[in-house]
Amino acid sequence: MRRLLLSLTVAASLGLSGCGGAEWGLHARSTTTETRPLARDGRFELENTNGRVEVTGWDEEKVQIEATKRAGSERGLEKIQIEITGEKDSVRVRTRFQRAHWLLGAGRVDYTVRVPRGARVRVENVNGRVEVAGVSAEVAASNVNGSIEVDGASAVDASVVNGTVAVALSRVDPQGHSKISTTNGAVRLTLPADANAEIDARTTNGGIGCDFDLADETRARRRLSGRIGSGGARFELRTVNGAVNIDRGLSSRAAERQPAEAAPASPESR
């Protein structure tokens, strides 16, 4: 009985390592691509469990979803289902892992997605990096094991348990309220040089750095708050084990020009 339990434990741990992002043992692979209409200011949502998620803004009124499934066997691929619903105003993608026999091995799905630049984006992941770039509207992202990177949004709600969070905004919504947090990792926020914002940054074990001069500044060893410019938009930055940094970026006008000048890479070039 002890030998059987030990074998089951080893097999389960190998399966979990595959779910965590490593491609060891994931010999079977399948890639599908689907395109649906999506309004310039529509909503896109994606739920994933294991794998990388990359979302890039473009100038088309449609969403292109490329999903690459990996599993230990062809039968394992069949147990990973990708559900895509909606069009025009809202598109939602969900990854479904059917409960499988432990001998079939684990699996993952990597997503490469293109959405209209003005679309609102929400991504939920468990294991794997999340990247959102070239989107000018609001972005919401959550992760458990893996980093989150957002480049180009106007307001962000991003949270991680184990991993870093890096957010660089191209403009600041005066009415926006951004929350950026992690438990184990660093938080980095880059704001336009001409931003107006209210800052509240806190850490339990780590330092806090800020490139901006703050009005009404309150500074302690583990907390920093104050106003950039005339204030308005609110930013709450939190971490338990890690540093918090607030960097000065380009001006809003210069930052907004960059996504339009950089065309997204085609699937063939990746």
pLDDT of residue 247: 96
Distance CA 17, CA 25 (A): 10
pLDDT of residue 2: 37
Residues of the chain short of pLDDT 70, as ranges, are 1-24, 99-105, 250-270
> Residue 235: which of 243, 249, 225 has the closest Cα?
225
pLDDT of residue 139: 97
pLDDT of residue 266: 41
Written as one string, the DSSP assignment of the chain is: -HHHHHHHHHHHHHHHHHHTT--TT--EEEEEEEEEEEEEEEEEEEE-SBS-EEEEEESSSEEEEEEEEEESSHHHHHTEEEEEE--EEEEEEEEEE----GGG--EEEEEEEEEETT-EEEEE-SBS-EEEES--SEEEEEEEES-EEEES-SEEEEEEEES-EEEE-SS--TT-EEEEEEEES-EEEEE-TT--EEEEEEEEES-EEESS--EEEEE-SSEEEEEETT--EEEEEEEEES-EEEEE---HHHHHHHHHHSPPPPGGG-
pLDDT in tens, 18-36: 344 446 678 899 999 999 9
Decide the pairing of beta strands 187-191 and 223-228.
Answer: unpaired
pTM of the model: 0.82
